[in-house]
Structure 1
Amino acid sequence: MGFRRSPEEVAAVQATLADVEFVGGESLSVDFLTRPETIRDILPAELDPGAEPRITVQVSRWRSNCVGDFAASAVYVSASHDGVAGDYVLTMFMDNDVPMLFGRDLYGEPKKIGTSTLWRNDGHMTGVLERRGTPLVRIEADLGPDRGPTEVVGRNFNVKYALEPGAQALAGPPTLMMAEFAQRTTVVRKGPATLELGGTVHDPLDSLEVVELRDAVYVETGMKATCVPLGPMDADAFLPLALGRSDHWPALSTARLPV
């Protein structure tokens, strides 16, 4: 092993990343409806809003064949592209840098570092996301009986891009990506939930208005992941959304200029 991978090591990396699998997953999620104008504002122009103005908040933990064990949280926005329904990933939080770099570099997922925790007490489930000491998500759910195994295919839309130094523009057109997840779910439990969304200038989850809250869903699941590019996007139009995926750099200044 070294900083220059051997041909055998390159082949091993490529084989691993061509057969990505996440296993032993536990996920607590809750959907809510917000205002249609909110959905349009946070979606890239190349994506259409979904059938209803739905946002999904999820807290989960996983094992994998490529990035080790990790805990994660995410916010998804119902969307479609050329008639194919899926979810646009608004923001994601990983508990370490390995899954963060994997998703960001390969799939274009908008990942940051955050602490995600799941607790279960019989039929009651709690999911919490914190970042830099600020609570951003808290889901409380009272779960009903197991509804049995299912198999589904989930689709996520992401964007791969690079910023020019100084963030005056993107370094070329961004690429719209679609990830597919073939899920084999062994346990499904649903029940009434409460949802608290916090926020900071860097992570304004509290700006997402909850108009109608739905039941929570808890699953135990595994999934195979694949991802393909869908095409180039308008760089100028996406720049404000690209900057919204990062922390707000002006608020992170610790320097004092001489007077």
Structure 2
Amino acid sequence: MVKLRYVQGPVATPQSGGLNNTVRTVRALYETDAEIARALLPQPLVPAARPEIFLQFAHVAMHVTPETTVEIGALTLGVMCDYEGTRGGYVFHMAMEGETVVTSGRERFGEPKKIAETTFDKNGDHVRATCSRHGITYFEVEGTIGADQGKPEPFEEYFYCYKGLPSITTPGEFDGDVYLTRLNWKRNYSRHHGFDGAIRFHESAYDPIVDVPIRRMLSLDYVEGATNTSGQLLRTVPSEWIAPFWVQRNDAPSNPGVEIALAEAKAA
């Protein structure tokens, strides 16, 4: 008898539900330019009333099995929107450590994950975290954990992604259906504190989050606790709705982007 591990062998309990994680997280909500928020959103998502961006840097301990825990850092940005009455965030950037978590999230849920190098340092109440790709540190957050906000009630929040297979023969098209998906993240935080600090974006042609600037910080918090992540298919969408946005999940340093006219600039 010999083994062939390119074929799935018997498993005792196939994982079909959500993944349970323990997290230490800096969460932020900030306003950007309304024109940029609108331009970031593919159909059929509808912009939120205010041009708000959700940002989260999380140090995650993923409890894959009772015996196996994988620790990673993860950066997520999403523009707030609405789909059929459910508020959520369209994820336009997601970077984290580890090939397996990146490929599984892209293939299973349509998450625009990229492999990154992250740091998370907590020394007493001082926290500093970074995210880097291609040798460029394009995200930093640093500050001090503030006043205790009390234990929050468990809640669930939602994020939207698109799942598809780019065409073998025709760039900009897809083979088969393209799906709108929804991530369902159940939060059960044990600690909730204010966070006195700053978020800094740095130029990177590979990850141009500087193009979605912070105009006004609405909230900045530090939380710890448990989270359960899962997702679902919502519907198929015409491939042309998502095609211009697919570049977000690839490294495309030569992409010139599109020009966005800001109302503020027009007034000036």
The TM-score range, normalised by the shorter chain, is 0.7 to 0.9
1:243 aligned onto 2:247: yes
> Unmatched 5+ residue regions in structure 2?
256-268
Aligned residue in 1 for 2:260: none
Match in the other structure for 2:87: 85
Q: Does 1:185 align with 2:189?
A: yes
Residue 22 of structure 1 aligns to which amino acid in structure 2? N
Give the alignment's TM-score, normalised by structure 2: 0.85
- Per the normalisation by structure 1, the TM-score is 0.88
| 1:142-181 correspondence runs (5 A) | 142-150=144-152, 151-165=154-168, 166-181=170-185
In structure 2, what is the Cα distance between the partners aligned to 1:128 and 1:149?
A: 27
Structure-2 change in CA distance of 1:98 and 1:220 (3 Å): same
More off after superposition, 60-69 vs 168-177: 60-69
Select the structure that is richer in helix. Answer: 1
Retained in 1: the 8 A contact 2:75–2:94?
A: yes
Q: In structure 2, what is the Cα distance between the partners aligned to 1:102 and 1:65? A: 15
Does 1:60 pair with 2:58? yes
Corresponding residue for residue 135 of structure 1: 137
2:7 aligns with 4
Tell me if the contact between 1:27 and 1:60 (Cα under 8 Å) persists in the aligned partners: yes
Cα distance in 2 for partners of 1:222, 1:153 equals 12
The residue type equivalent to 1:182 in the other structure is K
Ranges of 4+ aligned residues in structure 1 off by more than 6 Å: none
- Structure 1 stretch 141-150 or stretch 226-235: which is displaced more? 141-150
Q: Distance in 2 between matches of 1:149 and 1:203?
A: 35
CA distance in 1, matches of 2:63, 2:195: 31
Q: Could you say which residue in structure 2 is the equivalent of 1:24?
A: 22
**What are the superposed Cα offsets for residues 126-158 of structure 1, whole Å, 9 maximum, x if unpaired?**
221111111111112232122232211011111
SS in 1 for 2:193: strand
CA distance in 1, matches of 2:73, 2:213: 26
Whole-angstrom distance in 1 between the partners of 2:220 and 2:123: 15
2:83 maps to amino acid: H
Q: Which residue of structure 1 aligns with residue 38 of structure 2?
A: 40
* SS of equivalent to 1:52: coil
Instruction: Kindly provide the CA deviation profile for residues 100-134 of structure 1, in whole angstroms up to 9, marking residues without a partner as x.
Output: 01211111100001112222233332221111111
